[in-house]
Amino acid sequence: MNKALIRGLCLFALVASLALRVQANQVRVSMLSDFDIGAAVTAVISEHGYALRENPVKPPKLLAAAVYFQRPECSQASFVLPYLISAETLPMLTRLNKPEFARSYFYMDRSWGEQSRVSMVLEWVKYTVLDIFGASPYVPFKQAIILAEPPGCAGPAAIDWRTVWDKNRFHLAKGAGIRPDAGT
Protein backbone atom coordinates (compact mmCIF):
# COMPACT_ATOMS: atom_id res chain seq x y z
CA MET A 1 0.00 0.00 0.00
CA ASN A 2 1.32 3.42 -0.78
CA LYS A 3 1.46 6.45 1.47
CA ALA A 4 -1.48 8.29 -0.06
CA LEU A 5 -3.81 5.31 0.28
CA ILE A 6 -2.85 4.67 3.91
CA ARG A 7 -3.26 8.32 4.79
CA GLY A 8 -6.58 8.46 2.97
CA LEU A 9 -7.90 5.45 4.89
CA CYS A 10 -6.72 6.86 8.23
CA LEU A 11 -8.28 10.23 7.43
CA PHE A 12 -11.50 8.51 6.46
CA ALA A 13 -11.49 6.62 9.79
CA LEU A 14 -10.99 9.90 11.65
CA VAL A 15 -13.72 11.86 9.86
CA ALA A 16 -16.23 8.99 9.75
CA SER A 17 -15.78 8.14 13.43
CA LEU A 18 -16.20 11.77 14.47
CA ALA A 19 -19.33 12.25 12.36
CA LEU A 20 -20.90 9.03 13.67
CA ARG A 21 -19.99 9.80 17.28
CA VAL A 22 -21.43 13.32 17.19
CA GLN A 23 -24.67 11.83 15.88
CA ALA A 24 -24.72 9.04 18.50
CA ASN A 25 -23.97 11.52 21.29
CA GLN A 26 -26.84 13.78 20.24
CA VAL A 27 -29.26 10.84 20.26
CA ARG A 28 -28.08 9.79 23.73
CA VAL A 29 -28.22 13.32 25.19
CA SER A 30 -31.72 13.68 23.79
CA MET A 31 -32.75 10.35 25.36
CA LEU A 32 -31.27 11.23 28.76
CA SER A 33 -32.87 14.66 28.85
CA ASP A 34 -36.24 13.21 27.82
CA PHE A 35 -36.25 10.47 30.45
CA ASP A 36 -38.00 11.79 33.56
CA ILE A 37 -38.05 9.04 36.15
CA GLY A 38 -40.22 11.09 38.51
CA ALA A 39 -42.89 11.46 35.84
CA ALA A 40 -42.61 7.75 34.97
CA VAL A 41 -43.05 6.73 38.63
CA THR A 42 -46.02 9.07 39.00
CA ALA A 43 -47.63 7.65 35.86
CA VAL A 44 -47.10 4.04 36.96
CA ILE A 45 -48.62 4.71 40.40
CA SER A 46 -51.62 6.49 38.86
CA GLU A 47 -52.16 3.63 36.41
CA HIS A 48 -52.47 1.26 39.36
CA GLY A 49 -55.24 3.41 40.81
CA TYR A 50 -53.45 4.78 43.86
CA ALA A 51 -54.00 8.35 44.97
CA LEU A 52 -50.95 10.62 44.81
CA ARG A 53 -50.04 12.75 47.82
CA GLU A 54 -48.12 16.00 47.94
CA ASN A 55 -44.45 15.87 48.81
CA PRO A 56 -43.80 18.25 51.74
CA VAL A 57 -40.20 18.83 50.55
CA LYS A 58 -39.84 21.30 47.69
CA PRO A 59 -37.08 21.73 45.05
CA PRO A 60 -34.13 22.26 44.95
CA LYS A 61 -33.83 19.85 47.91
CA LEU A 62 -32.75 16.34 46.97
CA LEU A 63 -35.75 14.75 48.67
CA ALA A 64 -38.18 16.81 46.60
CA ALA A 65 -37.87 14.02 44.01
CA ALA A 66 -39.84 11.60 46.22
CA VAL A 67 -43.32 10.65 44.98
CA TYR A 68 -45.89 10.04 47.74
CA PHE A 69 -48.98 7.86 47.26
CA GLN A 70 -51.70 6.40 49.46
CA ARG A 71 -52.66 2.74 49.54
CA PRO A 72 -56.17 2.24 51.01
CA GLU A 73 -54.98 -0.48 53.38
CA CYS A 74 -52.10 1.60 54.81
CA SER A 75 -52.34 4.08 57.67
CA GLN A 76 -49.78 6.49 56.15
CA ALA A 77 -48.65 7.43 52.66
CA SER A 78 -45.96 5.34 50.99
CA PHE A 79 -43.24 7.00 48.94
CA VAL A 80 -40.94 6.23 46.04
CA LEU A 81 -37.57 7.93 45.89
CA PRO A 82 -35.57 7.90 42.62
CA TYR A 83 -31.79 7.98 43.08
CA LEU A 84 -28.57 7.41 41.13
CA ILE A 85 -27.46 3.79 41.39
CA SER A 86 -24.01 4.84 42.62
CA ALA A 87 -25.38 6.96 45.48
CA GLU A 88 -25.81 5.73 49.03
CA THR A 89 -29.43 5.85 50.06
CA LEU A 90 -29.08 5.56 53.83
CA PRO A 91 -28.33 9.28 54.48
CA MET A 92 -31.28 10.27 52.25
CA LEU A 93 -33.62 7.87 54.03
CA THR A 94 -32.37 9.04 57.41
CA ARG A 95 -33.33 12.58 56.47
CA LEU A 96 -36.81 11.43 55.52
CA ASN A 97 -37.08 10.32 59.14
CA LYS A 98 -39.18 7.21 58.53
CA PRO A 99 -37.06 4.45 60.11
CA GLU A 100 -40.05 2.18 60.67
CA PHE A 101 -40.93 2.06 56.95
CA ALA A 102 -40.21 -1.16 55.03
CA ARG A 103 -37.88 -0.53 52.07
CA SER A 104 -37.56 -2.27 48.73
CA TYR A 105 -35.16 -1.34 45.94
CA PHE A 106 -36.11 -1.65 42.27
CA TYR A 107 -33.99 -1.28 39.16
CA MET A 108 -35.28 -2.40 35.78
CA ASP A 109 -36.33 -6.06 36.11
CA ARG A 110 -34.82 -6.78 39.53
CA SER A 111 -35.64 -5.91 43.12
CA TRP A 112 -33.66 -6.06 46.35
CA GLY A 113 -34.47 -5.94 50.05
CA GLU A 114 -31.47 -3.70 50.63
CA GLN A 115 -29.27 -1.51 48.49
CA SER A 116 -26.96 -3.47 46.21
CA ARG A 117 -24.87 -1.07 44.16
CA VAL A 118 -22.73 -3.66 42.40
CA SER A 119 -25.74 -5.71 41.29
CA MET A 120 -27.40 -2.56 39.98
CA VAL A 121 -24.29 -1.52 38.05
CA LEU A 122 -24.16 -5.02 36.54
CA GLU A 123 -27.81 -4.69 35.57
CA TRP A 124 -27.03 -1.37 33.94
CA VAL A 125 -24.09 -2.90 32.03
CA LYS A 126 -26.28 -5.82 30.90
CA TYR A 127 -29.05 -3.62 29.54
CA THR A 128 -26.62 -1.10 28.06
CA VAL A 129 -24.99 -3.89 26.06
CA LEU A 130 -28.40 -5.22 25.01
CA ASP A 131 -29.44 -1.70 24.08
CA ILE A 132 -26.51 -1.41 21.70
CA PHE A 133 -28.06 -4.25 19.70
CA GLY A 134 -31.57 -2.87 20.15
CA ALA A 135 -32.49 -5.82 22.38
CA SER A 136 -33.06 -4.05 25.69
CA PRO A 137 -36.70 -3.68 26.77
CA TYR A 138 -35.58 -0.93 29.17
CA VAL A 139 -34.04 2.51 28.87
CA PRO A 140 -30.57 2.00 30.43
CA PHE A 141 -30.76 5.06 32.63
CA LYS A 142 -28.71 5.05 35.82
CA GLN A 143 -31.57 5.80 38.22
CA ALA A 144 -33.16 3.26 40.52
CA ILE A 145 -36.04 3.68 42.97
CA ILE A 146 -36.65 2.92 46.62
CA LEU A 147 -40.16 2.07 47.72
CA ALA A 148 -40.76 2.87 51.39
CA GLU A 149 -44.01 1.73 52.96
CA PRO A 150 -45.43 2.18 56.45
CA PRO A 151 -45.73 -0.78 58.84
CA GLY A 152 -48.92 -2.87 58.70
CA CYS A 153 -49.41 -2.55 54.95
CA ALA A 154 -49.58 -6.30 54.30
CA GLY A 155 -46.63 -6.44 51.91
CA PRO A 156 -45.39 -4.11 49.21
CA ALA A 157 -47.78 -2.47 46.75
CA ALA A 158 -48.74 -4.71 43.84
CA ILE A 159 -47.14 -2.49 41.23
CA ASP A 160 -45.03 -3.66 38.33
CA TRP A 161 -42.19 -1.19 38.75
CA ARG A 162 -40.36 -2.53 35.67
CA THR A 163 -42.60 -0.35 33.53
CA VAL A 164 -40.85 2.75 34.95
CA TRP A 165 -37.86 1.95 32.68
CA ASP A 166 -39.92 0.34 29.92
CA LYS A 167 -38.71 1.51 26.52
CA ASN A 168 -42.15 1.43 24.90
CA ARG A 169 -43.57 3.57 27.69
CA PHE A 170 -40.65 5.95 27.31
CA HIS A 171 -41.20 6.33 23.57
CA LEU A 172 -44.96 6.76 24.05
CA ALA A 173 -44.42 9.42 26.72
CA LYS A 174 -41.86 11.13 24.51
CA GLY A 175 -44.29 11.08 21.59
CA ALA A 176 -47.07 12.46 23.75
CA GLY A 177 -44.78 15.28 24.84
CA ILE A 178 -44.25 16.55 21.31
CA ARG A 179 -46.18 19.70 20.60
CA PRO A 180 -48.69 19.31 17.73
CA ASP A 181 -47.17 22.29 15.88
CA ALA A 182 -43.62 21.05 16.21
CA GLY A 183 -41.54 19.52 13.44
CA THR A 184 -43.16 20.99 10.35
Partner 1 sequence: MGLSAPAFPGRGISRREAFLWPTVCLLANQAVQLVDTNSFTAFALSLASQNLIYWLACYAAIYRLSASDQAAAPTRSDGWLVAAICVSIVLTSFLPYRFATGLLASATAGYFIHAARTDRNVRAAGIVLLALSTQLVWGPIFFQLFTPELLRADGFLVGEILTSLRPDIVWRETTFAAPDGHAIALVGGCSSFNNISTALLACVAITMLTRTEWERRDVGVIAIVVVVMILLNTFRICLLAWDHASHAYWHDGPGAQIFGLGQTLLVLLFAWYGAQPSRRAA
Measured CA angle at 119 (ends 113, 125), to 5 deg: 140
Min dist CB 150 to partner 1, Å, is: 24
Instruction: Closer to partner 1 by CB, 62 or 74: give it.
Output: 62
# chain residues binding partner 1, by CB under 8 A:
38
φ and ψ of 144, to 5 deg: -110, 180
Min dist CB 152 to partner 1, Å, is: 29
Instruction: Closer to partner 1 by CB, 13 or 52: give it.
Output: 13
Quick count: other Cβ atoms within 10 Å of Cβ 176? 7
34 near partner 1, judged by CB under 8 A: no
Q: Which of 51, 52, 132, 172 binds partner 1 (CB under 8 A)?
A: 132
- Measured CA to CA, the distance from residue 23 to residue 28 in angstroms comes to 9
**Residue/partner pairs of 172-176 with CB below 8 Å, 24 or more apart:** 173/39, 173/40, 173/43, 174/34
Min dist CB 156 to partner 1, Å, is: 25
- Measured CA to CA, the distance from residue 55 to residue 66 in angstroms comes to 7
Find the binding residues for partner 1 in span 90-109 (CB under 8 A): 90-92, 94-95
64 near partner 1, judged by CB under 8 A: no
Residue partners of 127: CB distance under 8 A and separation at least 6:
108, 136, 138, 140
Which segments of 35-106 does DSSP mark as H helices, in order?
Answer: 37-47, 90-96
Q: Which of 8, 25, 47, 177 binds partner 1 (CB under 8 A)?
A: 25
Find the binding residues for partner 1 in span 144-183 (CB under 8 A): none
Region near partner 1 per CB under 8 A, out of 48-56, 104-112, 117-125, 170-178: 117-125
- The contact set with partner 1 (CB under 8 A) reads 1-7, 9-10, 13-14, 16-18, 20-22, 24-29, 62, 84, 86-88, 90-92, 94-95, 117-118, 121, 128, 132
